[in-house]
Amino acid sequence: MSERTSEHPVDSRNWTEIQVQRATRNSLVWNGISLGCLLFLVWLTGDYLYYFFRGPVRVTDEQLLTILDRNRDREPIEYVEMPDRTLIETNWQEVSTSDGRPYSTVPFFLLPVGDQTMILVLADSRDDGKQLLGPLSGARDLDLRVIAKVIQKHPEYADRIQPVVLSNVAAFNVAGYVLMVIMLPWGAYCLRNVIRAVMARVNPASHSIERQLSRLGDAAALAAKINEEMTRPSVRRFGKSILTDSWILRPTVFGAQCVQLVDVVWAYHLQRTSESFVVLCLRNGKVVAVFLKAAQCDELVAAIAERAPAALTGYDPDRMKLWQKNRQEFLRRFEAGER
């Protein structure tokens, strides 16, 4: 007997119930964490999302000054629309480069707000003052340097220019649509999984493990058979996989693989780079992979050959070609006893 396998009774409690409880617990934990991360992301982007869904607000000079005083600590400060405004040129530009070459140039302008206040505006031209639309944000380091240069040239502006920028060139809504594409499916998927896990806790028959057994017959009877075989001394473990007299069972993070040996038509060991696994080809045309260490793979295939003598074992390139190209013919030959 290899040191990597063992032959002994495992937990004799109801195996399927234990797996349902474990899988639903994992689902609640992982999807709960995912929903928590999603809510944290919503909290981080809360101001932006509020403006995204609400849309821009049209403001007068007095309203804008009130907003600047009230929302100074928010980022962005506000999403505004300001028609029919006159922009003052600063002769400064924001130049974006790639590999040292400029690919975008956006001029800075000054926008008078009331009689005593000005803010910076990023716009393509003075004509954009006819319809300003964009986010109000606190000034960046670049913006502050521009303000300093403007004040140096025009000292009379020293107490008038606020460290605030209105970007008329920002694609403000793009990030919102990207967030919606990410967060809505993500949230719906996690919420669905949480609901399913809670339902499975209340009604284990609704879990995928029980549904898997129901496709093979009477789920309750099959579960009872599994539990009874778990108490026999012939049960063997191969890593996380369990081999009983008539089943191969492998718990997964959110469920379990339950394969009847009578359904196995071909089992072989496959090695790919650093991965070793046993491939189980089933009567229904499906394939199940059981990942193990290389030595355990050979032992599991030998054990399957012993407990399911009708199954084909060992890799064969001709069988593989037939299985991949014409599974119905493969299964027909198997049922006919052709080897």
DSSP annotation of 217 reads S
Which pLDDT score is estimated for 337?
A: 82
Task: Tell me: pLDDT of 27 over 80.
Answer: yes
Distance of CA 44 to the CA centre of its chain: 19
Which pLDDT score is estimated for 295?
A: 87
Report yes or no on 176 lying in a domain: no
Task: Tell me: pLDDT of 6 over 60.
Answer: no
Contacts of 25 (CB under 8 A, 6+ apart): 197
Which pLDDT score is estimated for 13?
A: 54
On whether both 230 and 294 belong to a single domain, the answer is yes
121, 150, 170 - which closes a domain: 170
Q: Between 236 and 71, where is the model more confident?
A: 236
Q: What number of other Cβ atoms are within 10 A of residue 2's Cβ? A: 11
For residue 3, name the pLDDT band (cuts at 50, 70, 90). very low
Report yes or no on 40 lying in a domain: no
For residue 69, name the pLDDT band (cuts at 50, 70, 90). confident
Report yes or no on 222 lying in a domain: yes
Which pLDDT score is estimated for 75?
A: 80
122, 141, 170 - which closes a domain: 170
For residue 5, name the pLDDT band (cuts at 50, 70, 90). very low
Task: Tell me: pLDDT of 167 over 90.
Answer: yes
On whether both 232 and 273 belong to a single domain, the answer is yes
170, 194, 220 - which closes a domain: 170
Report yes or no on 200 lying in a domain: no
For residue 104, name the pLDDT band (cuts at 50, 70, 90). confident
Domain limits for position 320: 5-13+208-335
d(CA 250, CA 338): 30
- Total structural domains in the chain? 2
> Model confidence over 190-212: pLDDT tens digits?
999 999 999 999 998 899 999 99
Query: Which CATH number do you get for residue 301?
Result: 2.30.29
Query: For the chain, what is the mean pLDDT?
Result: 90
> Model confidence over 262-321: pLDDT tens digits?
999 999 999 888 889 999 999 999 999 999 888 899 999 999 999 999 999 999 999 999
Burial class of residue 156 (count of CB atoms within 10 Å of its CB; 0-12, 13-18, 19+): exposed
Instruction: Calculate the dihedral angle through the C-alpha atoms of 50, 52, 58, 60, rounding to the nearest 10 degrees.
Output: 50
On whether both 218 and 163 belong to a single domain, the answer is no
Report yes or no on 179 lying in a domain: no
